[in-house]
A and B are shown apart, each in its own frame.
Chain A
Amino acid sequence: MRVFPTRRLRALRRAMLGVVGLTGFLVLWQLIPTLGLINPLYLPYVTDVLARLFEQLVDLAFWRRLGSTMTSWAIGLTVATLAAVAVGTVVGLVPFLRRATHTMVEFLRPIPSVALIPLAVLMFGIQRQAALVIIIYASFWQVFVQVIYGVADVDVVARDTARSFGLTRREQLSHLVLPTTLPYLMTGLRLAAAVALILAITAEMVIGNLGLGRMIELSRSAGDAAGLYALVVVTGLLGLMVNIVFRFIERRVLSWHQSVRGEEPL
């Protein structure tokens, strides 16, 4: 049996095992083409891919495309979040609207946003706006649904108390609705950030507006396997970064909330 290791040791072991896992994956990848299991034309050596990755990192054109992708991502996410918070708050607070919009929402939400790609292309051509339509549509629902749940989750006792203390509507919004909704909103935002990135890159692949997605599609049609795999790794790192950043923001914004909730057995 293991003796209880200190927390530090356990964390070290965890990190070491994780590094071993990653290294093992890379070695395995290197071995597959080396042993001839898959033709290196289709699965290039890790060393080649990593070399390409570093080559890209010093290439200004690469950074410009990365910037283009992230600009679409940022604009789309911002617009979607603002719209979803505004509409979600109003709809969530007014029971009549909530009931009236329910079927519409349940029908529109599952529509895969990529189904709108042809429409977006017709409306805007091969431009960023076309990609934005897709990004905004997809990330809007993530935030919207969470905001509606959050707004509806206001504690009844707290609401009655606020009412009997004569809080104005604005005070109720900032002291009652906002703190209740914030955890939901942050969850929605984190999900939306990931979804927006996925669709930003997808849109570039399918529509062909400037960005990493188009670069991926170009290197595929050019048969540049090493370049393709390097870009896939880049998108993975981007996704990882977005996840980490938004998890961090979530923890920061909700630090007060965690401390309150920490005592409840949930």
Chain B
Amino acid sequence: MTAYTGRVATTARGRTIGSRIAASLLYPLGLPTLLLVVWGLVATRTTSRFFPDPLTIAEAFRETWIGPAFVEDVLPSLARLGLGVAASIVLGVAAGTVIGLTHWLRELLEPLLEFLRAIPPPVLIPVVMLLLGITDTMKVVVIVSGAVWPILLNTIEGVRGTDSVMKETAESFRVSWWERLRFLVLPAASPRIMAGVRQALSVALILMVISEMFASSSGLGYRIAYFQRNYLIAEMWSGILLLGLVGVFLAVAFGLVERRVLRWYHGIREVNRA
């Protein structure tokens, strides 16, 4: 029989608690540690200057980002990112709800939105630059102009997919428009909205970096591009690492928020599955 099935059988067999704890630590940490060690060994042997060893990068990370640079470059970037994402959510959900609830409006705008969504978001950076100049507002607008689409389109779909029986029940019980929105339509659309927000987050992060690489004299994206142009290799790697950490942090934070917002939904799904 296959090795695959044999493996399952051995893990299922009883084990001591100690080895189980060791396994639960070893699994998540084993491979990253191994890779770091291999990287370190390769980096010390290779002649390529572009791959410094992990310790040098860690050192550069500490020197570059911990200190005033954090306040000058990282925080403003993150603030713009947060502002852009927040504006996208508000705009996307509000407009999406209206469009999703109005039949003719949806049909009117569908092809247009389909086209606007298909524009690769970074292409909008030069356009927004042209319209607004190189300002902080421009960077936030760039983020919104890319991140709003997944939220908007998912909200429209979600609102449209509200259970019709529930909708009619709410109508016949004369639940007010506002209450219907608050207690029926938005919760019904929330799984789709959250899926949209997840997509929007990664788009927003990309746009934050590129808009700064393109037109800025501060910010995370600018710094990384600056290090590269000046051959500050370890510093550049530390910037990539920091961006990675920001990405991971966003993913984790979003996961927590999503679990909280959609607790009822996951509950229902679990009940249905069982």
Contact = CB atoms under 8 A, between A and B. Distances in A.
- Residue from A14, A17, A95, A102 whose CB has the most chain B CB atoms within 10 Å: A17
A244 to B, nearest CB: 9
Contacts, number: 170
Nearest to B255: A106
Interface residues on A, range: 35 or more
Contacts of A118: 224-225, 227-228, 236, 239-240
Nearest to B127: A232
Contacts of A13: 107
Interface in B185-212: 202, 205-206, 209-210
B17 interface: no
A123 to B, nearest CB: 6
A67 interface: no
Contact of A95 (B7, B121, B243): B7
Nearest to A96: B7
Nearest to A25: B112
Contacts of B221: 114
B39 to A, nearest CB: 13
How would you classify the secondary structure of chain A's contact residues: helix, strand, loop or mixed?
helix
Given A103-B31, A220-B129, A119 B108 contact: no
Contacts of B50: 119, 122-123
B130 A115 contact: no
A109 B255 CA distance: 14
B243 A111 contact: yes
B111 A112 contact: no
Given A235-B120, A239-B119, A228 B126 contact: yes
A202 B228 contact: no
Nearest to A97: B31
Nearest to B254: A110
B206 A112 contact: yes
A116 B110 contact: no
B244 A232 contact: no
A123, A202, A217, A238 interface centre (most CB from chain B within 10 Å): A202
Nearest to A220: B126
B120 A116 contact: no
Interface of B: 1-2, 4-5, 7-8, 11, 27-32, 35, 50, 104, 107-112, 114-127, 129-131, 202, 205-206, 209-210, 213-214, 221, 224-225, 227-228, 233, 236-237, 239-240, 243-244, 247-248, 250-251
16 contacts: A17-B107, A21-B108, A21-B110, A22-B112, A100-B31, A115-B239, A118-B228, A118-B240, A121-B228, A202-B210, A205-B122, A205-B123, A205-B125, A232-B123, A236-B118, A238-B118
